[in-house]
Amino acid sequence: MAHDDAADALGFSGVSTDFLVGYAAAVAGSSGGVFVGDLTAAGADAYEFGLMFDPATDLDRMSLQMLTYHAPYERWRYPLAGIIDRAYHHYSVPLTDPGGWIQELGSNSFAFMLANVNSVRLRMYDGNDAQTGVSGRLNNFSVVAPEPGTLALSGLGLLALAIKLRRRRS
């Protein structure tokens, strides 16, 4: 479920591949909705993207957020470290383990959140706790899901291991 930057400039609302106010969001209409919906059913493992900050950026903190816009309202965030050195850095945010994710709003489980994502946001704050002093470039935002061939090979490997262990016991 990769995204083609040239096709629709990441499809983010409010910004294109350049962000000037420390905020980028993908919603159902962004890139055909591949970033939102039932991520569990889609077999999603992670969100991945490249990020480069402008040298004058005053970055204090940033996180990736997942939200639901219907009751029950939920918001989870995953804190990220920003590196300001005028180079792209690759980020991978895991979706298979709630460790590292922080629930900011709501009381449902992480599994509920993954099944009901309405929006994904990359939030960046400057030293004044505002989103105005952050600028840079975002590219190759994607949702990563294992290829069916990889799953088949993993399954065959586990089957072979189980057969070997069973023979060893007898």
What per-residue confidence (pLDDT) applies to 32?
65
Contacts of 131 (CB under 8 A, 6+ apart): 21, 22, 23, 123, 124, 125
Query: Based on the number of CB atoms within 10 Å of its own CB, is 133 exposed (0-12), middle (13-18) or buried (19 or more)?
Result: middle
DSSP string, 101-162: -EEEE-SS-HHHHHHSB-EEEEEEE-TTSSSSS--EEEEEEEEE---HHHHHHHHHHHHHHH
Instruction: Using a pLDDT cut of 70, give the percent of the chain over it.
Output: 66
User: Rounded CA gap, 147 and 44, in Å?
Assistant: 10
Domains within the chain, CATH numbers bracketed: 5-169 (2.60.120)
| Of the listed ranges 28-42, 62-76, 111-125, 145-159, the one predicted with least confidence | 145-159
Contacts of 56 (CB under 8 A, 6+ apart): 135
Over the stretch 11-23, which tens digit does the pLDDT of each residue have? 333 333 445 555 6
Give me the chain's average pLDDT, please. 75
Per-residue confidence at 150, pLDDT binned at 50, 70, 90?
low
Instruction: Look at residue 120 and give its three-state secondary structure.
Output: strand
Residue 72 structure tokens: 């029950």
Per-residue confidence at 164, pLDDT binned at 50, 70, 90?
confident
| Reported pTM | 0.72
Over the stretch 53-78, which tens digit does the pLDDT of each residue have? 777 666 778 888 998 887 789 999 99
User: Rounded CA gap, 123 and 115, in Å?
Assistant: 22
| Of the listed ranges 15-19, 82-86, 102-106, the one predicted with least confidence | 15-19
